[in-house]
A and B are shown apart, each in its own frame.
Chain A
Amino acid sequence: MPVKAIAPNYHGDFKDTQDKYHGQQLISLCWEKHTSFGWPMCMPVPPEMPFGGLIEKVIPHIFGDHPDFAKIQWDQVQWSTSKGPFVPDPAKSLAEHGIKHKHQIRFRTPGLDGHLGGG
């Protein structure tokens, strides 16, 4: 049942639909194993942003201070969403990768599992 309500067929308006983000979409970014960052990061980005922009600008700004960051070999990184693994094309946009509003992008850096075990 979608909700128990006094009124029949109660519908809750979606509070976070993409049209409310002024041409942008939300994405979440999670560096797996790096729990010291606390959480998957949520941010608005333009859907036409190339995946390369995410790797070159967004990710270093958020995660760049971590001791593991400089050691990342980017061709070894394993990318995934909840739908499974994928190989990004830096030239193609997020939309072309099928990354929709509120999707979560996860990346795993094998061998780099957090600073001294502390995430």
Chain B
Amino acid sequence: MAADGNMKPAKKLSLKENYAMLTRGLDWEPTYQKKEDIFRMIDFEGIKIHDWDKWEDPFRLTMDAYWKYQGEKERKLYAIIDAFQQGNGQFNVTDARYLQALKIFLTGIVELEYASHRGFCMLGREFPGAGPRIAAQMQSIDELRHCTTQIHAISHYSKYFEGMANFPEQFDRVWYLSIPKSFFEDACTSGPFEFIVAISFAFEYVLTNLAFMPWMSGAAFNGDMSTVSFGFSAQSDEARHMTLGIEVIKFLLEQDPANVALVQKWIDKWFWRGYRLLALLATMMDYVLPKRVMSWGEAWTIYYEENGGALFADLARYGIKPPKYADVTIKEKGRVSHEMWSVFYANRDAVNFSTWLPSEEEMAWFSEKYPDTFDKYYRPRFEHWRQLEKEGKPFTCKCLPQLCQVCQWPCLYTEPDDATEFLHRETEYKGETFHFCSDGCKDIFADEPEKYVHAWLPVNQIYQGNCFLPGVDPTAPDFNPLVEALKYMGLKPGVDGGLLKDSIDAQRWEQWTSRPANIHEGAYTDFVRKTTNG
């Protein structure tokens, strides 16, 4: 080029060209190794892909743009968290009961972000197409960021309140947390196509609104600016993940007609597994949040029946049907949170959050939101238990549950058409009996029994004597497997679990804030009684 003073730089690439260079231009056909040796996991599931270039990433996000956007969001998020901490924001939440929701979130959800990060890492390695590989890598980074920012957003509470410091250990050991844990382990041990249908479509696209909207609105409504800021920071990522989910489905369905049956099977399976996982959320929304955003029943109507209905109507042109047993979820929507809270209350000494009974005012709200079920089945139960509490002998469950071999929930659900009958489903495989919480889980087992026969079921492991700390002698005459199992889970009496009114968090909350630890129950301690009766 002549040094004539007229040097013009090459034209800057458009975002679309930049993305194409990144996802197509940087890829190459291998010559030293066979392609099937490099991408070993891509064929065994039976999905057929003819042209990876047909993949259209709807966001066409390039690396430089990604880092810039995410960096800006991080700076805003941490500025808010700093301000929250300096302003003693932990005392501006509704009450100490709200903190129990945070404990469920921290132990039940945060680790799933990490598990999801691992799953998308796997896809970022295994997909032969550069487009989806880049998308999976970015989502993997997103999920890791969500995990760390959630931990940071909640860590401040851990300086003041109990029960949050050991969340990774609890995730691995507390019995009911095997439910979220096994959900992602099932997904991560599937092939790459099942994983992406499971997580990107069935979970992120169909169900994540249910997890995200009510939880984050609930945080905002209860004055938790730290957690809600995380929610805003993650929202644009979630939008991208959801769009990836729908793109994946359309790509798979358009590639080969033989893919339709497999995709349908995975939608059925993962919709059901995701729905069962969300039962934890149903409980949180209806029973734990002191100020409620909406009921679980309302949320299911809006986010699944209406939104999901429109989605599956749209997918009908590919031959995809609404998920199997969607009708059961609708039949269960007036029951699931009440059934769930009943077992958490009755087993309150074996969980990592405190419980309580709903107040008169709360039960009136349930009667209004659940006119067909609450007064008939659950109000009499809670009133009876309230009476037992007054008599000083609160109801406690005395035995561990029979667990579902697939989702690992206790078999606590009732017949879809009769809320007074326990639902019994079992099967015999190679001479051994396996129990299930539902037809949905039974079908999943029947399709791949060899995957679930070696599920690590907490109750069964406790009884085998595998859940106690080193040095404990299970042959000692005073050995109590249940007490030792609680120690193994890291649950301390009076600190984790139990009744909220007896908990150390409630005592301290009232001492520090002079406000009731549970706005629905009035004062637990003299610190508040002095103020309110003043």
Contacts and interface: CB of A to CB of B under 8 A. Distances in A.
B399 A6 contact: no
A24 B420 CA distance: 32
A61 B426 CA distance: 26
A106 B399 contact: no
Nearest to B420: A33
B374 to A, nearest CB: 11
A1 B412 CA distance: 29
B467 to A, nearest CB: 13
Contacts of B165: none
Output the residue of B382, B398, B399, B414 with the most chain A CB within 10 A.
Answer: B399
Nearest to A108: B421
Nearest to A8: B44
Contact of B421 (A6, A32, A39): A32
A103 B433 contact: yes
B380 A38 contact: no
Interface band, chain B: 35 or more
B45 interface: yes
B377 interface: yes
B54 interface: no
A15 B448 contact: no
B63 interface: no
Given A30-B422, A35-B420, A41-B402, A104 B435 contact: yes
Interface in B358-385: 376-384
Contacts of B403: 42
A6 B126 CA distance: 13
A22 B481 CA distance: 14
Output the residue of B342, B343, B379 with the most chain A CB within 10 A.
Answer: B342
Contacts of A33: 420-421
A57 interface: no
A100 interface: yes
B377 A119 contact: yes
A46 interface: no
Given A3-B449, A14-B432, A26 B463 contact: yes
Contacts of B463: 21, 24, 26, 42-44
A26 B460 contact: yes
A115 B44 CA distance: 53
A118 B395 contact: no
Interface stretch (B140-148, B292-300, B450-458, B523-531): B450-458
3 tightest A-B CB contacts, nearest first: A118-B380, A118-B381, A41-B399
18 contacts: A3-B449, A3-B450, A6-B44, A6-B191, A14-B430, A14-B453, A36-B346, A36-B384, A36-B395, A39-B401, A40-B435, A42-B460, A43-B400, A62-B398, A65-B395, A102-B432, A104-B433, A119-B420
Interface of A: 1-6, 10-17, 20-22, 24, 26, 28-30, 32-33, 35-44, 61-62, 65, 67, 82, 100-104, 106, 113-119
Given A35-B419, A40-B422, A119-B420, 10 more contacts: A5-B44, A14-B432, A16-B432, A30-B402, A37-B346, A37-B397, A40-B424, A118-B377, A118-B379, A118-B384
Interface of B: 40-41, 44-46, 190-191, 194, 339, 342-343, 346-347, 376-384, 395, 397-403, 410-412, 414, 419-422, 424, 426, 430, 432-435, 447-457, 459-461, 463-465
